[in-house]
Amino acid sequence: MRGLALLVGIALTAAAVRAEPVTIRSGFTVATSGYGPMVLEKKEVLAHYGTSYVLEPVHFRSTSLELSALAAGEAEIISIAYSTFALAVLNAGMDDIRIVADGGQDGVGTHRTVPFLVRNDGGIDKIEDLKGKAVATNGTGGAFDMAMRWMLRKHGLEDRRDYTTIETDYANMAAMLLGGKADLVIGAEPFVDTPAMRDNAHALFTTRDALGPSQMTVMAMRAPFVAKNRAKLVDFFADMMASYRWFHDPAHHDEAVAIVARVTHQPAENFASYLFTDTDFYRDPNLQPDLESLQRNIAIMAALGYVKGTVEAKKYADLSLIDEARERLK
């Protein structure tokens, strides 16, 4: 009887563990990227929230900082730039990192591309005019940081030799540009699409000009976490697909824009005309990343000297979670 009681106790404990929702701390840089706070504003769309998983969004200034959190066990899923992914494998030795979903793509078809902005009165009419100037980045080694450096290199300019780099959060870039503290900034939405920026700044070039259509970010996890929580993660990604579809449904556009305005504390009129439309940044509705595009971007990173060698993106991809989630939602 004692042995039977022990077996029953073990079975009950195992069942309790299976029933306990897994906590997923999700790294993000802007509220509309990755699985940030915006997702939690529409919990009724998330069929498995609170049973299979709970989501805890964590803000980071750059994807390189998200990687540090993933490595330290302080995040379970991150929105990671192609550049940061390569560094994770080649420099940090994170051989168990896995690409699990699309994070965001730049310059695809009619969809948006991130601009790099200068002041109208800044005296910068061409890229060569940035010599001796200060440029702002959200973090060395980030996706848009790499695009900026690649474009400047193509025009003969190198960091430290020809220009100075300042690191700051996306939210501060408009003020830095208009305040004269930086001569070029990354035009991350929704922070730079304001009346003051539209009246006083313009794009010198875009990410598409620098790199072409690009897989800028992917969602990444570590293999042991995926293996341990596979069934619950399929539930999670099914909910993330459902959330994507809700926010991109034209019938929900006004409510979706109001949610983003509330989360970011930005006026809705700054982004209502494009957000969640065909002119917004592209994100695959089935969360499928473009691994060939990712591979091209890593090659540019190597050409810049940020990594030695190459990384075979397909080797580090586990798309089985989104494949199963997609089949479930058909």
Q: Write the CATH number for 264.
A: 3.40.190.10
- CA distance linking residue 106 with residue 271, whole number of Å: 17
222 & 322 share domain: yes
* Same domain (yes/no): 102, 218: yes
d(CA 105, CA 84): 15
* 171 and 296, same domain (yes or no): no
Q: Total structural domains in the chain?
A: 2
233 and 100 within one domain: yes
48 shares its domain with 84: yes
Query: What sections of the chain are H helices per DSSP?
Result: 2-19, 37-40, 63-71, 82-90, 143-154, 173-178, 195-200, 207-211, 223-228, 230-247, 253-264, 291-303, 320-329
pLDDT by residue (tens digit) across 194-239? Answer: 889 999 999 999 999 999 999 988 999 999 999 999 999 999 999 9
pTM equals: 0.78
> Which pLDDT score, from 0 to 100, does residue 304 have?
83
The pLDDT score that the predictor gives to residue 3 is 55
Q: Are residues 206 and 276 in the same domain?
A: no
Quick one: 100 and 248 in the same domain?
yes
């957000």: which residue's tokens? 275
- Taking each helix axis from N to C end, the angle separating 291-303 and 143-154, rounded to the nearest 10 degrees, works out to 50
What sign does the dihedral 207-299-95-314 (CA atoms) show? positive
Domain boundaries, position 64: 2-106+214-329
Residue 265 has pLDDT above 70, yes or no: yes
Mind listing the pLDDT tens digit for each residue in 110-125?
898 999 999 999 999 9
- Name the domain boundary from 211, 242, 264: 211
Block residue for tokens 């940020």: 306
Kindly state whether residues 122 and 82 are assigned to the same domain.
no
Same-domain status, 227 and 313: yes
